[in-house]
A and B are shown apart, each in its own frame.
Chain A
Amino acid sequence: QVQLVQSGAEVKKPGASLKVSCRASGDTFTGYYIHWVRQAPGQGLEWMGWSSPNSVDTKHAQRFQGRVTMTRDTSISTAYMELSRLTSDDTAVYYCARETIGTGGMDVWGQGTTVTVSS
């Protein structure tokens, strides 16, 4: 049974950068897209971006242009999401999620990483 295990909660200062990891346990990332989704307190889900199975192609939502980087290290079945120039609006739970190619559905989710941005 595949699981996505994310890194632990973080507290960041405004202007700092964040790096969240997402490790596949019981399977690899081969053949899957990895999406990143966040949820601010009391708010809905917000799609941030995806990295493709080839580990090279990525796509992100326009609002994160210039601030987000998504990478993978296939040798350790781990994906990463980096977000720079943090503000209090980036306070949220960040999720990684797996999508099997061609389905458009995110069928396995990480447990979430709580990120607090505060001075």
Chain B
Amino acid sequence: QSALTQPASVSGSPGQSITISCTGSSSDVGGYNYVSWYQQHPGKAPKLLIYGVTNRPSGVPDRFSGSKSGHTASLTISGLQAEDEADYYCSSYTSSSTYVFGTGTKVTVL
């Protein structure tokens, strides 16, 4: 199972919106609504931001939103803040009953 494809880096200024894409196939992203997104700051464990494509766990700001179209899922961060600077990973359930992560995206707040 190959890693899902994400852009290596995305940047934006404070207050702007950015979108991170996550491209897979019909065997993962395109076939199931079990896409999740994680935020990871350096030296820390990942934190769940989005599950089930669009759902936010309690405590996650509504600036973070998820969507999916075909084989590509997306995470949008609205009103970008300095603390949003981190690495972001998508994840999907697969047809093999396994999970796969994306390649990761480094978000820089300019």
Q: Is the CB of A47 within 8 A of B38?
A: no
| Nearest opposing residue in chain B for A47, CB measure | B99
Q: Is the CB of B57 within 8 A of A45?
A: no
Return the CB mask of B1-12 against A: 1 if under 8 Å, else 0. 101000000000
Q: Is the CB of A107 within 8 A of B99?
A: no
Chain B: number of interface residues, binned into ranges? 20 to 34
A96-119, CB < 8 A from B: 97, 103-107, 109-112
| Interfacial residues, chain B to chain A (CB-CB below 8 A) | 1, 3, 32-36, 38, 40, 45-48, 50-52, 55, 57, 87, 89, 91-93, 96-104
CB of A79 to closest CB in B, whole Å:
16
SS class of chain A's interface: helix, strand, loop or mixed? strand
Q: Is the CB of B98 within 8 A of A105?
A: no
Cross-interface CB contact of B57 among A60, A97, A107, A110, cutoff 8 Å: A107
SS class of chain B's interface: helix, strand, loop or mixed? strand
Instruction: Give chain A residues whose Cβ lies under 8 Å from the Cβ of B47.
Output: 109
Q: What count of chain A residues pass the 8 Å CB interface test?
A: 23
A44 close to chain B: CB less than 8 A? yes
Q: How far is the CA of A45 from the CA of B48 in the complex (A)?
A: 13
The 9 A-B pairs with the shortest beta carbon distances in the complex, nearest first, are A105-B51, A104-B34, A44-B104, A109-B45, A105-B36, A45-B101, A47-B99, A107-B48, A103-B51
